[in-house]
Amino acid sequence: MLSRDQVWELARSVHPYGVQVRRDLHRNPELSFEEHDTHRYLAAALQELGCSFRSGLGGGTGLQVVIRGAQPGPTVALRADIDALPIQEETGLPFASQRPGVMHACGHDVHTAILLATARALQTIKDDLAGQVVLIFQPGEEKNPGGASLMIRDGVLDDPKVDAIFGLHVEPYMEAGRMAFAPGPVMAAPDEIRVTVAGRGGHGAAPHLTVDPVLTTCQIITALQQVVARNVDPFQPAVITIGMIQGGSAHNIIPDEVSFVGTVRTMDPQLRRMMPERIEAVVRGVCEAAGATYRFHYEHGYPMLVNHPEMTEIGRQAAVTVLGAENVQRMEPSMGGEDFAYYLERVPGTFTRLGARAKDNTSPHGLHTSRLMIDESCIAVGVAYYIQVVQDFLASTNQGA
């Protein structure tokens, strides 16, 4: 088993490789389930590293790597997501996205670089491992049904059978060199609503001859905020956000229809079951009062992400080993969604936050923004953590046996 100094020596040795991978991927981002160039890039890199892998998974662009230790033992999985977002990059970086309107604005390029660099590191120490390591390069984290569910369908947790799984996500508001952990529910279940309000269009100067879907939609959106304010326990986290409205063609025309799309976030199964009925009741009531009709669609997204207590402690202790206790903090719950939750429904594991803010960056931009900046030193931190947590899990499980 490598010492802390040896873990860091190995992580630092693969860090330049990880940085190069990150920049290559950042220049060439691809949207969810369209990661064909990324898939080819990763396959070529894994072949060069001498890794055994399966490709074409999770809808076509996912990969599964199996690194087998010299001795038999349990199987631990690590996961990275590989997709980007429909955002025009405005960072001005020399390796900024070369694809208009697409950017790695959620840090998945960093996650992938960390995992590929970890593969390179583990290849050099696999003879010292008692067990197997499965590396999952997963597409489509940003889009339903979630690439995790498709990778599971394709057997990434079954062949070989995975005993535990660990994942991470960059956090641009937390300083690089720090990590955060928490057991139990830490991320929300993200659902989606799509509504079309149908009225009767006409001239803007004669609204009395119309059924105005614009005004009706405005009233619905306002009324929806009362669902959280007046139907949800104040101690129960919930969010309803309308992120897109479409309708109309000119300033003086009342349209026939207006559509809007939103997200519903909950962290309680009972509340999640209540939301569709309550939201549609608001839509129905406002439309009936206005004389309009509607089309309503509610789509359930990923499950709530629940970290396994024992695996979270193994992960936290691994981070303490490589970073020191002063650099490991408690992760606050988030209303963000993450399809890593699907893996955690199947096997015990934990999902952690990896600091990615440069010390001199006093005004960081958040995830899903066009100016997200990452301190690339976090790549070495992520690799060191993964090496340590693999060692710790395999050792603890083998000792338990």
Classify domain 189-299 by CATH architecture. Answer: 2-Layer Sandwich (3.30)
Mean pLDDT confidence for 217-222 = 98
What pLDDT shows up at residue 363?
93
Common-topology check for domains 4-187+304-400 and 189-299: no
Q: pTM for the whole thing? A: 0.94
- pLDDT value of residue 152: 98
Evaluate if residue 251 carries a pLDDT over 80: yes
Q: How many CB atoms lie within 10 A of CB 184?
A: 11
In the predicted model, what is the mean pLDDT of the chain?
97
* Domain chopping of the chain, boundaries: 4-187+304-400, 189-299
Residue type, 188: A
Instruction: Tell me if residue 268 is catalytic.
Output: no
Beta carbons within 8 Å of 219's beta carbon, 6+ residues apart: 286, 290
Nearest to 320 by CA among 226, 268, 392, 234: 392
Distance CA 71, CA 74 (A): 10
The torsion angles phi and psi of 187, rounded to 5 degrees, stand at -140, 150
Q: Tens digit of pLDDT for each residue in 51-68? A: 999 999 999 999 999 999
Identify whether the C-beta of residue 193 lies closer than 8 Å to the C-beta of residue 298: yes
- Label residue 110 by pLDDT band (50, 70, 90): very high
CA–CA separation, 176 vs 11, rounded Å? 15
The two structure tokens encoding residue 271: 């509340």
Residue 127 appears among annotated catalytic residues: no
β-strand pairing of 179-181 with 328-330: parallel
pLDDT score of 400 more than 70: no
Are the C-beta atoms of 264 and 192 separated by less than 8 Å? yes
Say what the pLDDT of residue 397 is. Answer: 76
Say what the pLDDT of residue 37 is.
98
Distances (CA, A) of 96 to 20, 199, 302, 398: 13, 45, 30, 45
Q: Which of 34, 35, 83, 142 is labelled catalytic? A: 83
Band (pLDDT 50/70/90 cuts) for residue 224 is very high
How many CA within 13 A on the CB side of residue 299? 13
pLDDT tens column, 113-123 = 999 999 999 99
**Crossing angle for the helix pair 4-27 and 309-323, nearest 10 degrees?**
100
User: What's the pLDDT score for residue 281?
Assistant: 98
Whether the CB-CB separation of 84 and 29 falls below 8 Å is answered with yes
How many residues does this entry show for the chain? 401
Is the model's pLDDT at 142 over the cut of 90?
A: yes
Q: Residue 48 pLDDT more than 60?
A: yes
Identify each DSSP E strand in 248-358 by its residue range: 253-254, 257-266, 293-299, 305-307, 328-330, 349-357
Q: Which of 30, 81, 109, 141 is catalytic?
A: 141
- The closest of 162, 137, 191 to 76, measured between CA atoms, is 162
Instruction: Specify the DSSP class assigned to residue 162.
Output: P
In tens, the pLDDT along 63-88 reads 999 999 999 999 999 999 999 999 99
pLDDT over threshold 60, residue 311:
yes
User: In this structure, what token pair is assigned to residue 130?
Assistant: 């008692």
- Range 4-187+304-400 classified under CATH 3.40.50.300: no
